[in-house]
Amino acid sequence: MSLKPNRSSRLAPRLRRTLAFRLTAAYSIAGLLLLLLGTVSLYIVLRAELERSTELFLADKLHVLRTMLRERPNDEDGLREEIELESAARRYQQFYIRLLDERGAPILTTPGMAQRLDFAELANRTRSHPGRSISMVGRNGQAFRVASASAEVGSPPTGSDTIQIAIDISQEEELLARYRFWFWAILLITAVLFPLAGYRIARHGIRPVEQIAATARRITSTNLRERIQAEGYPLELASLAGTFNEMLDRLEESFERISRFSADIAHDLRTPVNNIRGEAEVALARARTVEEYREVLESSLEEAVRLSDLIGDLLFLARAESPLTELHLEKVNVGELLTTVRDYYEATAADAGVSLTAVEPAGAASASLDRSLMLRAVSNLVSNAIAHTPKGGSVTLAVSAAGPEIRIEIRDTGRGIPAEALPRVFDRFFRVDPSRSQISGGTGLGLAIVQSIMALHDGSAEIGSQLGCGTIVTLRIHTAAKR
Ligand SMILES: Nc1ncnc2c1ncn2[C@@H]1O[C@H](COP(=O)(O)OP(=O)(O)OP(=O)(O)O)[C@@H](O)[C@H]1O
Ligand SMILES: [Mg+2]
């Protein structure tokens, strides 16, 4: 029962947090403020202009009458024309004039003026504001603008009259009132229309964002191929969609690599296990001599060693990736390390008919390294070099120090690696020729391990090769690297 109020109270803050709501609110407030500013300033200008034209009219009339009184004081017809007839001819903005003599007795008055204006009030109010026009309300509630001025009679002056003038400005007042009415009406209508239009614009603008979100929601590890079609998107969102698509490219590639890796692991684990199983089944099919059993056991042991080496390599790679992996660092003389590896592989090289040499470094090149890991990396490289160098070839180990960098080079005069395979040799389970390597026992993890070891040392491993000429692997380590 308490669900309803709860839901609505939770909905309001949610709505307030939406982009569409914020954009709509911003559009509406900005739109209304602009409209308000525009209409209010137009109203002020219009009112000022109306007042100015009334003012000019009054000033003009006064000027005409004063000139007439000064220059043609006896032209009664002219004055009558100005005061009594001209106003009656007008439909709008009717004006009324009253001419008083020195004692205040009226000489001429526009017909109808007495019905519209209270003369006593007119005299009173204009007296307190001499020479200026002021607003006044007539007998019937109409708005007037009134002014009064003294005028010299004759030239040189023989006396002074008073001109009282009033102009009906109720039409202007009505115009302004209509303006105000429409101003509020339009404001009210736009207060409803702006949010509606703003909301539509905002929804339209953020639709691509929703489409991006919908695509992102649809993507799982099984449909990483899906991409956002960003045609027609605004530039900013097209770039967002592009970034998102690039991320998907990378994810797809990583997923592919991982699934290929798992398939490779399964395959490489299955082969020795199948061998052990097949040999055991054949051996058990009938009675065997002790010699035969020994042979089977020996062969099984070989496969088991292969299997445990493979598992060991995989475990090593998995651990090397963990950020918690610790190195057992010690000062290692790299020249001596190479000599150790050379000594270890001497017999293998001799069997393969390959000469193996370690070039003595000019100075002592030493760095703080994990000795056993570095031994493993260099051993992997030397074993590769010997395995891929035909009889009569040579493998050379060398170290050089250039500034804070130590460079280890393992160079052979072997078969080399085809250029198209070169970028992939550091990948796990990659073998240039899988069938041949399988016989020689390679699993394709050797170079991946070398790369992991170098990464652990903040160093790098690079390979260069020319088919038929040989291969050089260069390991670089910074002696100053923080480890
Ligand atoms: N010195 C080299 N000369 C020619 N080819 C090489 C050389 N070193 C590596 N390769 C090629 O690169 C592939 C990958 O080498 P990597 O050491 O990773 O695997 P592997 O030697 O096949 O197996 P593992 O080292 O795990 O026993 C090899 O299969 C081989 O084809
Ligand atoms: Mg190898």
Which sequence spans correspond to the domains of the chain? 20-218, 235-319, 326-478
Cα 62 to averaged position of ligand 2 atoms, centre (Å) = 115
CATH number for the segment(s) 20-218:
3.30.450.20
Q: Is the peptide bond before 404 cis (omega within 30 degrees of 0)?
A: no
Alpha carbon nearest to ligand 1 atom 13, residue: 431
Q: For residue 443, which ligand has an atom nearest its CA? A: 1
User: How far apart, in whole angstroms, are the C-alpha atoms of residue 404 and residue 367?
Assistant: 10
Ligand 2 ion: residues within 5 Å (CB): 384, 446
Cα 357 to averaged position of ligand 1 atoms, centre (Å) = 20
The reply to whether ligand 1 has any atom less than 6 angstroms from the CB of 411 is: no
Q: For residue 416, which ligand has an atom nearest its CA? A: 1
> Quick one: tokens of 431?
């073998």
CATH classification number, 326-478, choose in 3.90.1150.10, 3.40.50.300, 3.40.710.10, 3.30.565.10? 3.30.565.10
Q: For residue 473, which ligand has an atom nearest its CA? A: 1
CATH classification number, 235-319, choose in 1.10.275.10, 3.30.70.1400, 2.40.160.10, 1.10.287.130? 1.10.287.130
Cα 431 to averaged position of ligand 1 atoms, centre (Å) = 6
User: How far apart, in whole angstroms, are the C-alpha atoms of residue 359 and residue 361?
Assistant: 6
The reply to whether ligand 1 has any atom less than 6 angstroms from the CB of 54 is: no
Q: What is the pTM of this model?
A: 0.58
Half-sphere exposure of 378 (CA within 13 A, CB side): 29
Per-residue pLDDT tens listing for the chain (483 residues): 444 455 555 657 777 778 888 888 998 999 999 999 999 999 999 999 999 999 999 999 999 999 999 998 888 888 888 888 887 777 778 899 999 998 889 999 998 898 999 998 988 888 887 778 889 999 988 899 999 988 888 888 888 899 999 999 998 999 999 999 999 999 999 999 999 998 998 888 888 888 888 888 888 877 888 888 888 888 888 888 899 899 989 988 888 888 888 888 888 889 889 999 999 999 999 999 999 999 999 999 999 998 999 999 999 988 887 777 888 999 999 999 999 999 999 999 999 999 999 987 777 788 899 999 999 999 999 999 999 999 999 999 999 988 889 999 999 999 999 999 999 999 988 888 766 554 456 788 999 999 999 999 999 999 999 999 999 999 999 887 655
User: How far apart, in whole angstroms, are the C-alpha atoms of residue 129 and residue 113?
Assistant: 21
**DSSP run (H or E) holding 119:** helix 119-128
